[in-house]
Amino acid sequence: MTAPDAAFAVEPDGTRTLACRVSAEQAGGALLDILRRAHPGYAEADWLEAIASGALTLDGRAADADAPLAEGMRIACRIPPRPEPAVDDRFDIVFEDAHVAVVSKSGNLPCHPAGRYYANTLLGLLATRHGLRDAALVNRIDRETSGLVLVAKTREAASACGAMMMAGRFDKRYRVLVEGAWPCHDGWRAVRGAIVLVRGDIVRKKRVFRPDETLDPASPAHALTRFRCLGRAAGLSLLEAVPETGRPHQIRATLKAIGFPVVGDKLYGVDETIYARMCADAMTPEDVAALRMSRQALHAQSLAFRHPFTKEDLAFEAPLPPDEPLWRLF
């Protein structure tokens, strides 16, 4: 949840326990608003049902949806098991020590609990398969993005890695397939602008990128990504992408805005209405053909950073996924 002392756990029978404390910013706010923002995968009706059944508590007592919230109050909820969508649960730990792990994940595996996914996530699987129950993600990539993720194994490591990222000592590079012929002779192209939520869109997490070379880098919406072309074939371009900022959906939304949508992207691709049909299990053969790939063609290829404790310079690469033939064009 978006509050200090947040906790999430999956019990052996699949029951999910959600807990957090009300922050100073949330004090005086509405309980349902906090829950909706923290867990958008659950509808208001789900929380009302939890309140009615006594499964949702405030400071250990049955919660009232209209009760005023005070700083430090503990919100807790036990949610019975519910089916989760199938995922590709393959991942490899390519580096590990007492502080951090570098993991290469598949292209159909959420990193963290959200929406319909809880146990079937990278964090959930790291806990059940490797005992990493205190693990925290240093960088996050989307469910359909394959490649490298840095995981902190302790709270101290998470804090140190967070400071490393804030100081800009963390290099992330992606490979991405896009529709269209990117000018390959231009070298690096820096694209700057704002990433903002699309208000009123049916997809609550959707962003839009608005190019703006004059935007103040201190703006919370500021997004800067560098691209260069690595090759072109069959009406597609293979790009290297380096996000200098870390906004949600930054690479995908930026490429959509400048006319080079990511291949296979159901939310920012050639037809943005495909995402809603996918959620309704109503994709058509025409949708499948337009996407070209079963998932978005975005791959977290490399990570480089200085180890926050040993001070060793580390660099890792993950090969392109072998299961999608379009990658093999390049």
Output the CA torsion sign for 54, 57, 58, 61: positive
- Residue 157 tokens read as 């490591």
pLDDT of residue 200: 65
Q: Give yes or no: residues 152 and 88 share one domain.
A: yes
Neighbours of 249 (CB within 10 A): 19
In a domain, 161, yes or no: yes
Claim to verify: residue 140 and residue 164 sit in the same structural domain: yes
Among 62, 79, 96, which residue terminates a domain?
Answer: 79
Amino acid found at 44: E
pLDDT tens digits along 37-80: 766 556 677 788 888 888 899 998 888 888 788 999 998 888 77
The secondary structure of 200-244, three-state, reads CCCCCCCEEEEECCCCCCCCCCEEEEEEEEEEEECCEEEEEEEEC
Residue 310 within a domain = no
How far is it, in rounded angstroms, from Cα 223 to Cα 212? 9
**Does a structural domain hold residue 107?**
yes
The CATH number of whichever domain residue 46 belongs to comes to: 3.10.290.10
Cα distances (Å, whole numbers) of residue 109 to 121, 243, 251: 6, 21, 19
Instruction: Give the pLDDT score at 253.
Output: 97
Boundary residue ending a domain (57, 79, 101) = 79
Identity of the amino acid at 303: L
Q: Considering the domain boundaries, does residue 177 fall inside one?
A: no
Q: Are residues 93 and 110 in the same domain?
A: yes
Q: Which residue, 113, 138, 170, sits at the end of a domain?
A: 170
Tally of domains in the chain? 2
SS (H, E, C) 113-145: CECCECCCCHHHHHHHHHCCCCCEECCCCCCCC
Q: Is 147 helix (H, G, I), strand (E, B) or coil?
A: strand
Interval 117-136: pLDDT, tens: 878 999 989 998 999 988 99
Query: Residue 6: what pLDDT?
Result: 52
CATH at residue 112: 3.30.2350.10
Whole-Å CA distances, 265 to 33, 269, 290: 30, 5, 10
Host domain of residue 131: 83-170
Kindly state whether residue 73 falls inside one of the protein's structural domains: yes
Residue 16 lies in a domain: yes
Identify whether 96 is part of a domain.
yes
Strands 189-197 vs 136-137: parallel, antiparallel or unpaired = unpaired
The one-character DSSP state at 319 is: P
The whole-model pTM stands at 0.81
Per-10-residue mean pLDDT, the chain, length 330? 50 73 86 74 77 89 85 86 87 97 96 81 92 91 96 94 87 97 88 88 80 92 96 95 94 97 96 88 94 96 96 96 89
